[in-house]
Amino acid sequence: MRIEDKIYPGIGRVSGMLPLMSTEDGSFHVGQEGVKEIFTPLDHKEEFIVYEKKTLCNVKSALGYPAIYQVPEAAYEGPATAILMDLDGTSVRSESFWIWIIEQSIAKLMQNPHFTLEAADEPYVSGHSVSEHLQYCIDKYCPDKKLEDARAFYFATTEYEMKEILEGRGRQGAFEPAPGLREFLTEVKGNGVRIGLVTSGLYTKAMPEILSAFRTLHMGDPLEFYDAIITAGQCFSKTQSGTIGELAPKPHPWLYSETAKVGLGITEEEKGRVLGFEDSSAGVVSIRLAGFQAVGIGGGNIASGGVESMCMKQADLLCDTLPLILGR
């Protein structure tokens, strides 16, 4: 049985989530110490703990670094003064490419060139950090293997494939601009709305994507177009590829919080005129935990992840959301 159309503090209306009697780690139990209810989305990546006047979100971690946040109230009253945009899936259609890279990395790790992921794996190999994706695959398919070895295969595969793409020999259709992206961005920008680009991906992964999309659209330099671009970070060590984004990616709120607060200078008073755009379940939760309303864009795993009710609106195309942004 799923929760249907119930209102909870902070999170608001909830539908389609699964009720629990306790959190996975046993720290919270329904009926004990003020806990009224506990529920989780279909992908089980978070647990929401409901009290009389607040709701907590326990963001679980495959790497052993969970965190608990209070879900803040989020309201939107247009027109917007700023929007926060996800990269993969929302701005650039590349999710299938990165899932393929995960698949190739695990195939090499297992020394099985015929390995393929299952359809049921999709919510767990998209929208989170590289290490989370790889750890999920290791736990399911090859628990005797090590994460550091999987990461080595991942980054070697990525480096090779990115070079091939930049030289015109790579996987066809790896980085396609989302339908209507040029029209959407120019209309938003032309109306004085600030735009922040947000991704859990590393800088070396993210920038070739958006550069490729802007070249395809003849839009010039994305660093000059966007008002802020926040990635999971850049590591300057030759022997390491990870950043804090590996431990605190979406659905943690920090990437969206940093883009808003540091990148765009958004104040607490201005939060009600800011929208976040996402196609992933992790991204929707991240936007909400950062204190903003979320708009879901079709094509990702919002439905399969079970967080549709956390979106104030859903749309198939970015341009369909222009009236909401511009207040028309």
Give the C-alpha separation, 246 to 280, whole Å.
17
Q: State whether 182 and 271 are in the same domain.
A: yes
User: Are 192 and 162 members of one domain?
Assistant: no
152 is a domain residue: yes
| 240 has pLDDT over 60 | no
Question: Is residue 89 assigned to a domain?
Answer: yes
Does residue 86 share a domain with residue 235? yes
Supply the pTM of this predicted model. 0.84
Domain-embedded: residue 252: yes
The answer to whether residue 172 sits within a structural domain is: no
Give CA separation, 326 vs 84, 190, 281, 290, in Å.
Answer: 14, 11, 25, 22
Alpha-carbon span 313 to 218, nearest angstrom = 30
Cα 192 to Cα 175: distance, rounded to the nearest angstrom: 28
| Three-state secondary-structure class, residue 160 | helix
Q: Point out the least confidently predicted range of 27-36, 60-69, 231-240, 309-318.
A: 231-240
Residues 66 and 87 in one domain: no
Number of domains the chain contains: 3
Strand (E) positions, the chain?
A: 6-8, 12-14, 18-20, 37-40, 46-50, 55-59, 67-70, 82-86, 92-93, 176-177, 194-198, 228-230, 274-278, 293-297, 311-315
Query: Could you tell me what percent of the chain has a pLDDT over 70?
Result: 95
For residue range 166-225, list pLDDT tens digits in order: 777 777 778 899 999 999 999 999 999 999 999 887 777 788 888 889 988 999 999 999
Q: Are residues 306 and 322 in the same domain?
A: yes
Q: pLDDT digits over 97-146, tens only?
A: 999 999 999 999 999 999 999 999 988 898 778 888 999 999 999 999 99
Contact between residue 13 and residue 55 where contact means Cβ atoms under 8 Å apart: no
Q: How far apart are CA 137 and CA 107, in angstroms?
A: 10
Q: How far apart are CA 84 and CA 61, in angstroms?
A: 24
Domain extent at residue 105: 95-166
On the question of pLDDT at 238 being above 70, the answer is no
| Residue 76 domain flag | no
- The confidence score (pLDDT) of residue 237 equals 47
* Domain identity same for 307 and 189: yes
